[in-house]
Chain A
Amino acid sequence: MSKVIVVTSGKGGVGKTTTSASFSSGLALRGNKTVVIDFDVGLRNLDLIMGCERRVVYDIINVINGEVSLKQALIKDKNCDNLYILPASQTRDKEALNLEGVERILNELRETFDYIVCDSPAGIESGAFTAMYFADEALVVTNPEVSSVRDSDRILGILAAKSKRAVDGLDSVKEHLLVTRYDPKRVEAGEMLSVTDIQEILRIPLIGVIPESESVLQASNAGTPAIHLDKSDVAEAYRDVVGRFMGEEGLPMRFVTVEKKGFFKRLLGGR
């Protein structure tokens, strides 16, 4: 049975697209047939983060309008064999993304793919709603900051009341908390909400913690999802998230405490 997973947050700029790119790549690296869909119509960006922007010819609206087939619009990822990207439209408006059309596309994708990852736009308007409506599971991306936590709570309320699963009276959408841009140093100084605080407030299971890291910018500069970076905390953290998502047990939560620098690291000035 294939699964539709929405990457959502309410608040903008918290790391949804960064997460969608790395999470879908991680699923594909483990041999799952995976497709990642950009729902941010008008502000397409997933293509840049995946590094396939120059190969975009058609987009999800072309498919919804029946102008091209799904096959023609899907772009094969350059790093993973099992991964495809369905870009958002840059020119149309959000209203072109209607629920019936999206449902048709998702049903067709379900025939081929194990995982369908939906990168939601910010907000709680139609675009974000369409992205979450058909979800079986949700990664709720949250930064350790008051407005992000509040918006995540709002999104959880909408998932519980207005998603298709809620409306149809099925099992509720399975929710996962993903804390990103986490800075253990500031948490220990009492300047930033801790993972425990956020969990206590939002009351959903934690699937991972992604540290704040300069390598995310380098990954987006290069158009390579952060999970592919060598010797990077962010890449490791995303791999752990994928492992937990796939049911691997006993993975410790890493990068949540300040790393004590060893003698040699200090000597070499590494950070």
Chain B
Amino acid sequence: MSMISGLISYLRGNEKKTAIVAKERLQIILAHERAGRGAPAPDYLPALQEELMVVIAKYIHIDRESINVQLEKHGEYDVLELNITLPDKMRLNR
């Protein structure tokens, strides 16, 4: 639902109460912020991303924005997350 239509239905009175919206928004943003807390991102991440980029580009045509490397904390564990968005029609080099 777009913001405008959300606002309209809120004004009509058939939208979720704003307190519930507030709570849900807080739960989402704080889960994210708590995960990102703790140790700062290690400084090898940009270099790692760069080298992965080179390797992947050998096989798949992707641009720089389609690959994303980040470190997240899941409870006890640090998880290295690698996100590659493949182009719509995946074209292989060979």
Contact = CB atoms under 8 A, between A and B. Distances in A.
Given A146-B25, A161-B37, A190 B17 contact: yes
Interface in A165-202: 187, 189-194, 197, 200-201
Interface stretch (A60-68, A149-157, A254-262): A149-157
A146 B17 contact: no
Contacts of B48: none
Contact of B30 (A150, A190, A192): A150
Contacts of B20: 190
B18 A149 contact: no
A269 B86 CA distance: 68
A150 B37 contact: no
B33 A153 contact: yes
A191 B17 contact: yes
Given A157-B34, A157-B37, A161-B37, A150 B26 contact: yes
A191 to B, nearest CB: 6
B19 A153 contact: no
Contacts of B17: 189-191
Contact of B18 (A150, A161, A190): A190
A201 B18 contact: no
B29 interface: yes
A149 B32 CA distance: 15
A193 B19 contact: yes
A197 B19 contact: yes
Given A146-B25, A157-B37, A161-B37, A201 B19 contact: no
B35 to A, nearest CB: 11
Given A161-B38, A197-B22, 14 more contacts: A146-B25, A146-B26, A149-B26, A150-B30, A153-B30, A153-B33, A154-B33, A187-B19, A190-B17, A190-B19, A190-B20, A193-B19, A201-B26, A201-B30
